Amino acid sequence: MAKESKPWYTRIGTGIWKFFASLKLTIIVLISVAFISIIGTVIEQNQPLEKYLMAYGESWTKFIIYGNLNNMYHTWWYNGLILTLAVNIIVCTFERFPTKWNSLLKHKPKKFTAESVNQFANKRTVKVSAGLEETRTRVAAILKKNKYKTVKFDGNSDEDFTYCWRGVIGRFGSDITHVSLLLILFGAIIGGFYGYKDFKVVYTGDTIEVPDVDYNLRLDKFWIEYYESGQIKQYNSLLTVVEDGKDVLTKQIWVNEPLDYKGVRFYQSSWGNAWDRIAKANIAMIGKEKEQIYSNMEIDWGVLTKIPDTEYSVKLIGFAGDFAYDEERNEVFSKSAEANNPAIQIEVYRGGKLISSPWIFIKYPGIFPAIPDSEEDIVFGGYTGLLYSGLSLNKDPGVNIVWLGCLIMVSGFFLTFFVYHRRLWVYIHTVDGGTEVSLGGLINKSNFVFEREIENIAKKIKGDTEV
């Protein structure tokens, strides 16, 4: 007996093929992807470093940054998992599809006898008074209306053998779903390599550079709408696209209403009080010994302002709501979003020359002299906060492929769950007093549906209902 030949593709590295054809691999990869996706949902992706420090503290933030948990969907290991799943689906499809295809091509029986009908659990026998030819015509019309394809078998002059089928394509629903999954995974890989998800903290009047495109984005206005009860109703940003130095598009966005321009979507995702800048600061110049206040004034962010009746000018350049200092990186940052230890950094000029750029604190006035080697000092008395608009940037060149995959997946699910492969054997023969029609068949799922359908066909043949 000749040894059965395996398909050529299964002979290419038998061990590798078995590994990727494994159902265990599918389950492990799916669980891994699901677990990683949960982590990616809990840990917000592509956020500023300060936000992670505020939410998780310094130790966990180092772990998040080191493990790329803040940008997981663009890491090599995540895309490697997606690629492994794609190969697994391809191998499983090749493993099962040819056998299914060959069996469905050969689903028509080679022979058909009167006894064939009686072997099925789903069967009906109907006796009518009409002749053989009239009954054959009526049965053919009923089968056609029920969308059955038919093939006849040779018989005697007083009998008729017909094999019928419909819904063969429903058997391929799972394979179509596999194709849709491959498209979705391919779109995800394309998006992972060539797209990005980013987050920008933007202040009114600021223009930000948009990665991988030839235009910038300006925030013209940010405002919050409130209900009469005082609860927030909506927060909005008025954005302008700046291309080649010209304003080309202005749009108001809010939650669930993004701006879409040249493949990048800008979402209104958050807002808050800035932790690294303010709108205005209240300062005062005092005498160190007598603590006499010479001048009390308000200064704007980034604006060089002269202190009246003195030779000094100041510029507000830095702010930390909860002051902290990293000695290793020599950086000042806010370790929380709360105003637990507010401090400002100012530049102090004498006669137009920069003489110092100290940090001064509300809670600890005079701890670091603002003006070196002087009898005067500058103290920080209060500030006016500044709201920021949190914008999420999303560029995903694979999104259309993903949507195509989703559409195909819906069709695959429809075929799998709602299109049944029915096979029906019809035997018609003459008997004393008329003609007898025997029906019997199989269905790949939903046996109850098939029983009801055979019953309805039998009633129509008998003439109890209209064809």
- The Cα 47–Cα 56 span in angstroms is 13
Q: How many domains does the chain have?
A: 4
Q: How much is the average pLDDT of 98-114?
A: 78
Q: Of 65, 96, 127, which residue is a domain's last?
A: 96
Regarding whether 442 and 345 lie in a shared domain, the answer is no
- Res. 291: pLDDT tops 70: no
Decide if 309 is inside a domain: yes
Q: Determine the pLDDT at residue 231.
A: 92
For 405, how many CA atoms within 13 A lie in the half-sphere containing its CB? 16
Q: Identify the pLDDT of residue 118.
A: 86
Same domain for 69 and 146, yes or no, is no
pLDDT for the residue 72:
83
302 and 157 assigned to the same domain = no
pLDDT digits (tens, 9 = 90+) for 138-147: 999 999 999 9
> Which range has highest mean pLDDT (18-27, 55-64, 176-185)?
176-185
Q: How confident is the model at residue 1 (pLDDT cuts 50, 70, 90)?
A: very low
Q: What's the pLDDT at 8?
A: 58
Q: Residue 310's pLDDT is what?
A: 87
Q: Average pLDDT for residues 36-53, to the nearest whole number?
A: 81
State the pLDDT at residue 260: 94
Structure token digits, residue 248: 């080309």
Three-state DSSP class for 233? strand
Tell me the C-alpha distance between 413 and 410, whole Å.
5
**Are 270 and 215 in a shared domain?**
yes
Section 113-124 average pLDDT: 88
* 450 in Cβ contact with 423 (< 8 Å): no
Q: Are residues 197 and 293 in the same domain?
A: no
Q: What is the pLDDT of residues 423-446, one digit of tens each?
A: 999 999 999 888 999 999 999 888
Lowest mean pLDDT among 39-43, 125-129, 340-344, 450-454: 39-43
Average pLDDT, the chain: 87
- Does residue 2 sit within a domain? no
- Confidence label for 312 from pLDDT (cuts 50, 70 and 90): very high
C-alpha to C-alpha distances, 345 to 110, 301, 304, 339, 359, nearest whole angstrom: 91, 11, 13, 15, 4
The residue among 429, 430, 450, 435 whose CA lies nearest residue 164 is 450
What is the CATH classification number for the domain harbouring 432? 3.30.310.80
Q: How far apart are CA 424 and CA 149, in angstroms?
A: 10
State whether 261 and 239 are in the same domain: yes
Same domain, 148 and 292: no
What's the pLDDT tens digit per position in 53-63? 878 888 888 88
End-to-end Cα separation, the chain, in angstroms: 53
Residue numbers of the domain that contains 401: 177-275+389-411
Please tell me the pTM assigned to this model.
0.63
Same domain, 161 and 138: yes
Q: Is the pLDDT of residue 10 over 70?
A: no
Residue 350 lies in a domain: yes
| 84 sits in which H/E element | helix 76-105
Check pLDDT > 70 for residue 3: no
> Each residue of 203-215: pLDDT tens digit?
999 999 999 899 9
Diameter over CA atoms, the chain: 130
pLDDT of residue 423: 92
* Least confident piece of the model among 14-18, 181-185, 221-225: 14-18
pLDDT for 4 equals 52
